[in-house]
Amino acid sequence: MTVQSEESVTVPTAPAVTDITVTRPGGLRVTARHLLIGAAVLVGLILPWMVQSFVMFQLTQVMIYGLAILGLNLLTGFNGQFSLGHSAFYGIGAYTAAILMSRYDMNYALTLPAAGGVCFIVGFLFGLPALRLQGLYLALATFALAIAMPQILKFHPLEGLTGGVQGLVVIQPDPPALLSFLSSDQWLYYFTLSVILVMFAAAANLVRSRTGRAIMAIRDHPIAAAATGINTAVYKTLTFGVSALYTGVAGALGALAVAFVAPDSFSFLLSVSFLVGLVIGGVGSIPGCLFGGLFVLYVPNIAESISTGLAGAIYGAILLLVIFVMPSGAAGFCRYAVAYIRRSRTPRNANQH
């Protein structure tokens, strides 16, 4: 009998970049992550003064798409329910805001919670039958929703409310008296920015909470989740509702930004855009949603500017390139990069091959 000596090998690790903490008196822990977010917000605040007004408008749209994609992310990325129908929620949010403003003279700020509320209810109701459908079958059902929405919006008997094929005009809001030095475009930018900050923060909180963990547990292993006492049906339908709420609020903001709603803007293609943005940004990553929004706003334009005839092909080629290089999206790529940096700072074991 031979006995070999054993040594347990410990590999010391250098502290990771994002783990560096600074403790200030009063106990406020500031991590590198917080600093990054703070810097981003600061940049966001001063951006309108640094770029042309058209670019600022596009950035407003980037934020709006980012919010819509965050809605989809909550459902698909964090809860594993696949949806091709988020263009419908976006449209419902947009039309709710437009109808309330044009027909009922509601204040624009109030249309956001109204749109959110309506979409929450619709999303929740859709989530109920969705409980029975898995994967591709759910995809088909949500797809049906996406296809149905423009048709419903054009539906003859509802024209009095929706404005039919021609849609509705929305009056862009003016800045409040205190900030009257801003143009209405600039006010829209800051208004959108504040809404984004609040909602992204809320989402981040949700994801880190017990509820968030339950939601993710359902995605990863529904049977085990149920076995630990999580009421999967309740969580899944509520997540559907919240997801719709987020995308609906984005839709309302979109209506304010574009100042116009029409049925064909909310087609299935929009759902596809959201999906592409979700994947490119990084499924399950909250900051990734903004990158996704940036991508789906700018890249189609870039493709078109390279060649109008082959715009679709170039867009497709760019998509493929990005997927090849960053299969888990931008967020996945960043994670990989950070891990790579950590690894190269770690002293390696002597017997390394």
For residues 299 and 304, what is the distance between their CA atoms, to the nearest angstrom? 9
Minimum CB–partner distance for residue 261 and another protein (Å): 18
Three-class SS state of 257: helix
E strand map for 49-161: none
Minimum CB–partner distance for residue 200 and another protein (Å): 21
Q: Which is nearer to another protein, 258 or 275 (CB)?
A: 275
Q: Which is nearer to another protein, 29 or 353 (CB)?
A: 353
Three-class SS state of 260: strand
Contact 94, 252 (CB under 8 A): yes
Three-class SS state of 24: coil
Minimum CB–partner distance for residue 82 and another protein (Å): 8
Minimum CB–partner distance for residue 88 and another protein (Å): 11
For residues 37 and 21, what is the distance between their CA atoms, to the nearest angstrom? 15
End-to-end CA distance of the chain: 29
Q: Which stretches of the chain bind another protein, using CB under 8 A?
A: 1-4, 6, 8-9, 76, 129, 132-134, 136-137, 139-141, 143-144, 147-148, 151-152, 154-157, 223, 272, 275-276, 278-280, 283, 309-317, 319-320, 323-324, 327-329, 343, 349, 351, 353
- Report the largest interatomic distance among the alpha carbons of the chain, rounded to a whole angstrom: 91
Minimum CB–partner distance for residue 221 and another protein (Å): 10
For residues 181 and 172, what is the distance between their CA atoms, to the nearest angstrom? 16
